[in-house]
């Protein structure tokens, strides 16, 4: 039997993503990687992986997946209602699966992107040291494509995971909000915008438009006056808010081009970017400026949060219940419930 997971139904825009293809932007190769990097990192930690391992990203509807070998899984991101063998399972919690188990999803109630991590990570071939998919360039993933039914993704069978019962994380539930607050740092072209444009950017309400994908989200709102002089193209960064010639913002995301010629008014804080990415169409939002030092502090707190979580799992391996007997218990309990 092949040690793999089999895609029974592809879901929507399902791709293999990891922490991205870093180191080749000078050749024009986009970074890609999980568009909600935090959710993939969390999913990885839950199954005992280092945060940069490759998992499956999907949009609005997850794939149906059959496991052909034992492993451990965790689902994070949008509320995608995962079910293992038709029994609902929780988000942000590790589960053991065995050969023959089937994982399915329902359409997301909230959020846009979901993530599935498997112990050891998905082992499709790495290109330029990354397994991330950039589908418009047929790069990475499985032949550079969105996942399709009948695809087999190789993985390493895993039989044990320390402190399985403790591997969960209670994240604050993201409830729908009338207006999302996104913190940003002034961008490299901030000063070339007029005071009026700067004030409009900080004060007016924007809305996520229908043009939103892994490359970027276009926002709509009152048009900003644009700088009179055009600029020379320069490198782009994920979270950049470019103002196009029409005066509307585009937020650049994982699949962004490496260089761009639109002025960047600001860059959304790394910790707030997943909030934008997971927000639905027509979500209203407002920008709020913070300092580089504060944004750095926030991002470091997030890194620490994940490191502490991983350390907690390490410590809990010595707490009862220990080891596989508990997994057997979990299985037996399921039998009685059924």
Place of tokens 């010629």: 261
Span interacting with other proteins, options 38-46, 87-95, 154-162, 232-240, rule CB under 8 A: 232-240
CA distance 17 to 131: 6
Please tell me whether residue 127 binds other proteins under the rule CB under 8 A. yes
CA distance 201 to 288: 9
Residue 242 CB, nearest approach to other proteins (Å): 12
Q: Are 19 and 80 in contact (CB under 8 A)?
A: no
Please tell me whether residue 129 binds other proteins under the rule CB under 8 A. no
Per CB under 8 A, the list member of 240, 242, 248, 278 interacting with other proteins is 240
Please tell me whether residue 247 binds other proteins under the rule CB under 8 A. no
Phi, psi of 234 (to 5 degrees): -145, 175
Residue 136 CB, nearest approach to other proteins (Å): 9
Per-residue x/- marks for other proteins, 292-311, CB under 8 A?
A: xx-xx-xxx--x--------
139/169 with CB nearer other proteins: 139
Collect contacts of 79-85 with beta carbons under 8 A, ≥24 apart. 79/108, 79/109, 79/110, 79/111, 80/105, 80/106, 80/107, 80/108, 80/111, 80/114, 81/105, 81/106, 81/108, 81/109
Please tell me whether residue 148 binds other proteins under the rule CB under 8 A. no
Please tell me whether residue 187 binds other proteins under the rule CB under 8 A. yes
Residues numbered 25 to 64 that lie near other proteins (CB under 8 A) are: 25-31
Helix or strand (DSSP H, E) at 316: helix 292-316
Q: Number of residues interacting with other proteins: please give it, by CB under 8 A.
A: 46
Residue 237 CB, nearest approach to other proteins (Å): 4
CA distance 29 to 22: 9
Interface ranges with other proteins (CB under 8 A): 22-31, 127-128, 137-140, 144, 185-188, 231-237, 239-240, 257-259, 264, 267-270, 292-293, 295-296, 298-300, 303
């Amino acid at each position: 039997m092949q040690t793999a997971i089999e895609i029974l139904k592809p879901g929507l825009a399902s791709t293999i993503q990891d922490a991205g293809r870093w180191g080749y932007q000078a050749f024009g190769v986009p970074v890609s990687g999980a568009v909600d990097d935090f959710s993939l990192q969390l999913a990885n930690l839950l199954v005992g992986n280092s945060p940069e391992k490759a998992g499956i990203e999907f949009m609005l509807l997850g794939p149906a997946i059959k496991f052909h070998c034992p492993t451990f899984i965790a689902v994070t991101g949008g509320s995608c209602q995962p079910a293992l063998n038709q029994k609902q399972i929780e988000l942000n919690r590790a589960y053991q699966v065995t050969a023959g188990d089937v994982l399915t999803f329902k359409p997301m109630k909230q959020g846009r992107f979901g993530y599935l991590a498997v112990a050891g990570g998905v082992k499709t071939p790495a290109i330029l040291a990354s397994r991330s998919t950039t589908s418009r360039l047929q790069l990475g993933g499985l032949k550079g494509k969105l996942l399709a039914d009948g695809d087999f993704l190789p993985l390493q069978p895993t039989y044990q995971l320390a402190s399985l019962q403790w591997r969960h994380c209670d994240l604050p539930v993201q409830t729908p909000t009338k207006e999302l607050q996104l913190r940003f740092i002034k961008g490299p072209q901030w000063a070339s915008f007029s005071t009026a444009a700067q004030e409009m950017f900080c004060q007016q309400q924007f809305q996520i438009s229908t043009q939103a994908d892994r490359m970027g989200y276009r926002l709509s709102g009152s048009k900003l006056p644009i700088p009179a002089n055009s600029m020379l193209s320069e490198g782009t960064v994920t979270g950049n808010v470019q103002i196009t010639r029409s005066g509307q913002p585009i937020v650049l995301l994982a699949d962004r081009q490496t260089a761009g010629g639109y002025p960047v008014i600001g860059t959304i804080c790394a910790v707030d970017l997943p909030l934008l990415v997971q927000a639905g169409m027509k979500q209203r939002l407002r920008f709020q400026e913070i300092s580089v030092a504060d944004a750095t502090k926030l991002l470091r707190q997030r890194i620490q949060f994940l490191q502490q979580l991983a350390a907690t799992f390490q410590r809990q391996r010595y707490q009862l219940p220990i080891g596989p007997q508990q997994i057997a218990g979990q299985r037996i309990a399921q039998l009685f419930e059924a």
